[in-house]
Structure 1
Amino acid sequence: MSTQLLTYLTVGFSFVLYIGIAVWSRAGSTKDFYVAGGGVHPIANGMATAADWMSAASFISMAGIIAFAGYDGSVYLMGWTGGYVLLALLLAPYLRKFGQYTVPDFIGERYYSGTARVVAVVCLIAISFTYIAGQMRGVGVVFSHFLNIPITMGVLVGMAVVFFYAVLGGMKGITYTQVAQYCVLIFAYMTPAIFISMLITGNPVPQAGLGSEVLDGSGLTVLEKLDATLLDLGFTAYTLPSKSMIDIFAITLALMVGTAGLPHVIVRFFTVPKVSDARVSAGYALVFIALLYTTAPAVGAFARINFIETVNGSTYAQSEDQGGTPQFFKTFEDIGLIGWVDKNSDGIVQYGPGAPFDGRAEYTGERGQSGERLLTNNPTANHNEVNVDRDIMVLANPEIAKLPGWVIALVAAGGIAAALSTAAGLLLVISSSISHDLLKKTFMPDITDKMELLAARGAAVLAIAVAGYLGINPPGFVAQVVALAFGLAASSLFPAILMGIFMKHMNREGAIAGMVSGLLFTVSYIAYFKSDWFGAVNTAEHWMLGISPEGIGSIGMVINFVVAMTVARFTKATPASVQALVDDIRIPAGAGSAQKH
């Protein structure tokens, strides 16, 4: 059976499974739609949380960025994993005890203000749509390569699948679908990692393989070989940083606190029966997440070694069987995810240092004298001949290593599962914030349960359409787009949630001013350097304090805290009933009677 047919069958079977689960667990009430009825088992919730958390950025893009950034890529590992621990220990149990459906629900009740609720909804939508752009982009990349369709068509197919199980099933359908998706994605990620680790080092454990010797007789470990190879080619050593320490710190902090402010992850802890179940499910989720995150550095290193060895110095006109440029290179070139320009007209692919040109630029429809696709942008002399979209490395890894077709098909299903699981969670929080927080709790309080459920599904349809547009026109690589979403969460929702739990004197005026100022600052900074509207040069010498747009959320968070505390100091005090509510959230049941004895 051909690899292409295996891929169609595997991906098709996974779609049938997801949609079948959604139909079986279709939401029949708003409680089912928002929090899966509040009766999800901690282990199932842990798997669903892990799937919700491990998005296309984790599955597809993170190892690719690590493969090319080396040491600098460690910020994603440290920030995202550390942030999940922060969320699980510091916020999740208290939010579950509060017992509402959404994050804006908590902020609206805690800060006794409809305005605070609306501001929280605006923050949530800004975060979620930025985040979902990366997920839909990941869906398009996977479909484009494995199903031989354009990226735009891949995004549209992904939208259709998400529509069925997110709009029909709500949180109940999404939860049990995500359990299946976790099983698919983790098996799809670990299987090729084990194979490739065996091929390169002889060690079947990828995490250990990263520190093992390469099976080429050199006596070098994987990282030592990468350093030596990259230095020979003129690159910076793989294990040395190129970013400034302050930027590494700022990005890590923004990713960490942004994680703790992500609404689609927080809402997962509202689906379990008890507060203790929230803690237990957080522990299970951390174990499930660790399986992938401890493997990603090895996958990135193996991918970079294999890419260099198979591509650099290969003759483009020759077939792979004759020792020429491998087929995966030409396949990704055809869909615009690899670009090559033969600058010296020798017909040999030369991979060396230099700023990469835009490999996703429009294809002219013509081929160069060496057979390469000619693009509308013409790289200058200081450009590298090869440009690689970082999002392809995990997908291409099995092909580069010449693994069996069933492994390649499995990776396709895993990549799609990772992207769709997070996209569905994000779409749900967007739709629930519109139907529950804006309509039911703010503008239309007399709306019936049935009408609210209908509005939630309608909002999900609209959100899917916007998400599809953003997936077709993303502002960067998947992980980079997601990093911007974490910065927005860090600068807006995280401080409001943290102060709402641990600072009972924080009032509504302070919380609103903090969220607005933090979000406006971060959005403005990101737009200035990431959009084409202002013509700003996105380089370190132009950044404030040397902090990149990916890390600016940490400064936005500080601004949020400072503004909130300052405003709260000079405005009316928090009502006594709200202060009592905060005490009730933080103090375990029975603590008072225990103190009396």
Structure 2
Amino acid sequence: MDQFTLNLLVVGASFALYIGIAIWARAGSTSEFYAAGQGVNPVINGMATAADWMSAASFISMAGLIAFVGYSNSTFLMGWTGGYVLMAMLLAPYLRKFGKYTVPEFVGDRYYSTSARVVAVICLLVISVTYVIGQMTGAGVAFSRFLEVTSTQGLLIASTVVFIYAVLGGMKGITYTQVAQYIVLIVAYTIPAVFISLQLTGNPIPGLGLFSTMPSTGEPLLVTLNGLLTDLGFSEYTTGNNPWLMALFTLSLMIGTAGLPHVIIRFFTVPKVADARWSAGWALVFIALLYLTAPAVGAMARLNITTTMWPNGVEGEAVGVDELPDWFQTWSVTGLLKVEDKNGDGRIQYYNEAGPGMAELAAERGWAGNELVTFNRDILVLANPEIAQLPGWVIALIAAGGLAAALSTAAGLLLAISSAISHDLVKSVFNPNITEKGELLVARISMAFAITLATWLGINPPGFAAQVVALAFGLAAATLFPTLMMGIFSKRMNAPGATLGMVAGLVVTCAYLFTYLGVFFIPGTNMLANNADNWLFGIPPTHFGPIGALINFGVAYAVSSVTAPPPKEIQDLVESVRIPRGAGAALAK
């Protein structure tokens, strides 16, 4: 059986499974559409949360960015994992105890304000739309290679599948679909990693293989990789860059994670507050299976790519144009990978032109510049099985896994968008008397519009999947996270303070992104690439979240300090959400 047919069978079978689950678990009420009837088992919810959380950015893009930058991009791992712990400890149980369906609903009720609810909806829509672009980008990359279609055609196929199971099933269908998607994506991610770790180090556990000795060199894998890269003018793989920017980016991802509405609403689906805590614990276990593997995938892939380009070592000759492996040829067709023989010597020199001593070496050897002119970071994980010459079924499995990761998170985001429009705008603001059937219809229509918009935006994304997602995290950090934290832990925070704080965080962060990124969605451009000369105080747009959060906190506290405190019943509500039932009686004894 040829590879294309195998890919089609595996991916088609996974899509049939998702749609079948959606039909089986079709939502018949608003409670089932928004929160799966609040009857999901904590272990099941933990697995669904992990799938919702591990998007195309985690599965497809993160290891690629780590591979080509090294230690500095470990911030993705630290920020996203740390942020999930922050969410599980400081937000999820309290929001579940509050007992609502959506984040804007909590904001509106806690701050006794329709204006606050509407602003929260606007923030949610900006965050979720930005985030979903990365998912559609990842889906397009996966489709363009494995189903041999253009990325635009791939986006249309992915959108159709998401439309069927998300619109039909709502949160109930999405939950059980995400369980299946988690199983597909974690198997797809770990099997190639195990094979590659065995090939390079003889150790079947990728995380341990990363620090193991390579029989071919007699040195630890990271030492071998560092040596190869420095010989080619690149920085050492294990050396970080600016520690201040690394810390700022990690913080942006952490607090942005804790403010992501599509993940928070997953904790509204369990029966009890204790179940929300257990869900968080189980989700962290399921997430760790991929996140402990990702650094090894990145390092081993970078080593394989480098040795592919220099099969006889840097002292020998680069790979010949006619000697490029099959995987190189197949990925070149997508336009995401490209070489150019600039000096016409029949070989492809891959090196860092700006590296120390490389100009002299290039002049000595007759090189005319780096001839690996395009290597889209998002293809690395998907190409990994082919790079390592693994069996065809593994290649098909990684295709299904990449699509599962993109579609699972896209569905969660689209549900958050749909719920905000139907429940928090139509039901709560414009038409409070709408019937449950009418609200469910509005939810499904708004989701269809959201899918259409996400598809259109995904055609011309402003950067790699993980980079675009990082922008969404910065927006969440600057808007919803401070508002939720103050709503739970400050009885003095009032409606004017929270509303103006969100507005300030959103406006300042968006202004910075658009000022220093330029205009989004220009075809063929990467708006996140090397505009450092224009950055304010050297802060990249993806790192701006904590600055926006500080502005939000500052404005909120300043305004609330000069305006009337919340009503007594709201202060009592805050205390009841934060303090376990019966705690006061226990302390009195």
TM-score w.r.t. length of structure 2? 0.94
What is the 5 A alignment of 1:207-246? 207-216=207-216, 218-242=217-241, 244-246=242-244
Q: Cα distance 1:517–1:383, how it changes in 2: closer, same or farther (>3 A)?
A: farther
Q: Cα distance 1:210–1:536, how it changes in 2: closer, same or farther (>3 A)?
A: closer
Does residue 1:458 correspond to 2:445, yes or no? Answer: yes
Q: What is the deviation of 1:317?
A: 4.2
Measure the CA separation in 1 of the matches of 2:48 and 2:457.
Answer: 25
Q: Cα distance 1:532–1:450, how it changes in 2: closer, same or farther (>3 A)?
A: closer
Does residue 1:48 correspond to 2:69, yes or no? Answer: no
Select the residue among 371, 382, 385 that pairs with 1:395: 382
Which residue matches 2:36? 36
Does residue 1:291 correspond to 2:289, yes or no? Answer: yes
Which residue matches 1:375? none
Select the residue among 526, 545, 553 that pairs with 2:545: 553
Does residue 1:409 correspond to 2:396, yes or no? Answer: yes
Q: Cα distance 1:420–1:354, how it changes in 2: closer, same or farther (>3 A)?
A: farther
SS at match of 1:309: helix
Measure the CA separation in 2 of the matches of 1:142 and 1:463.
Answer: 21
8 Å Cα contact 1:349-1:386 kept in structure 2: no
Does residue 1:507 correspond to 2:505, yes or no? Answer: no
Measure the CA separation in 1 of the matches of 2:269 and 2:528.
Answer: 44
Does residue 1:578 correspond to 2:577, yes or no? Answer: no
Measure the CA separation in 2 of the matches of 1:382 and 1:246.
Answer: 32
Q: What is the deviation of 1:299?
A: 0.2
Which residue matches 1:592? 584
Measure the CA separation in 2 of the matches of 1:310 and 1:22.
Answer: 43
Select the residue among 435, 439, 448 that pairs with 1:448: 435
Measure the CA separation in 1 of the matches of 2:376 and 2:558.
Answer: 45
Which residue matches 1:427? 414
Select the residue among 471, 492, 505 that pairs with 1:518: 505
TM-score w.r.t. length of structure 1? 0.93
Q: What is the deviation of 1:3?
A: 2.1
Does residue 1:113 correspond to 2:113, yes or no? Answer: yes
8 Å Cα contact 2:140-2:151 kept in structure 1: yes
Measure the CA separation in 2 of the matches of 1:518 and 1:538.
Answer: 25
Q: What is the deviation of 1:354?
A: 3.9
Q: What is the deviation of 1:427?
A: 0.2
8 Å Cα contact 1:246-1:547 kept in structure 2: no
Q: Provide Cα deviations, 1:184-210, integer angstroms capped at 9, x if missing partner.
A: 000000100000000000000000000
Which residue matches 2:21? 21
Unaligned regions of 5+ residues in structure 2, if any? Answer: 311-316, 356-366
Measure the CA separation in 2 of the matches of 1:213 and 1:528.
Answer: 47
Q: Cα distance 1:417–1:2, how it changes in 2: closer, same or farther (>3 A)?
A: same
Unaligned regions of 5+ residues in structure 1, if any? Answer: 319-323, 357-379
> What amino acid sits opposite 2:423 in the alignment?
H
Measure the CA separation in 2 of the matches of 1:238 and 1:591.
Answer: 51
Count of aligned pairs between the two proteins: 567
Which residue matches 2:359? none
Measure the CA separation in 2 of the matches of 1:195 and 1:385.
Answer: 26
SS at match of 2:213: coil
8 Å Cα contact 1:339-1:387 kept in structure 2: yes
Measure the CA separation in 1 of the matches of 2:391 and 2:88.
Answer: 39
CA RMSD of aligned residues (A): 1.7
Q: Provide Cα deviations, 1:508-544, integer angstroms capped at 9, x if missing partner.
A: 1110111111111111111122224899995434322
SS at match of 2:338: strand
Q: Cα distance 1:88–1:573, how it changes in 2: closer, same or farther (>3 A)?
A: same
Q: Cα distance 1:482–1:537, how it changes in 2: closer, same or farther (>3 A)?
A: closer
8 Å Cα contact 1:55-1:422 kept in structure 2: yes
My pick for the range that moved more, 571-580 or 58-67, is: 571-580
8 Å Cα contact 1:529-1:537 kept in structure 2: no
SS at match of 2:219: coil
Which residue matches 2:332? 333
8 Å Cα contact 2:342-2:369 kept in structure 1: no
Measure the CA separation in 2 of the matches of 1:118 and 1:460.
Answer: 18
Q: What is the deviation of 1:263?
A: 0.3
Select the residue among 479, 490, 499 that pairs with 2:466: 479
Q: What is the deviation of 1:287?
A: 0.3
8 Å Cα contact 1:528-1:536 kept in structure 2: no
Measure the CA separation in 2 of the matches of 1:538 and 1:522.
Answer: 19
> What amino acid sits opposite 1:348 in the alignment?
R
Does residue 1:351 correspond to 2:350, yes or no? Answer: yes
Q: What is the deviation of 1:345?
A: 1.2
SS at match of 2:155: helix
Q: Cα distance 1:300–1:538, how it changes in 2: closer, same or farther (>3 A)?
A: closer
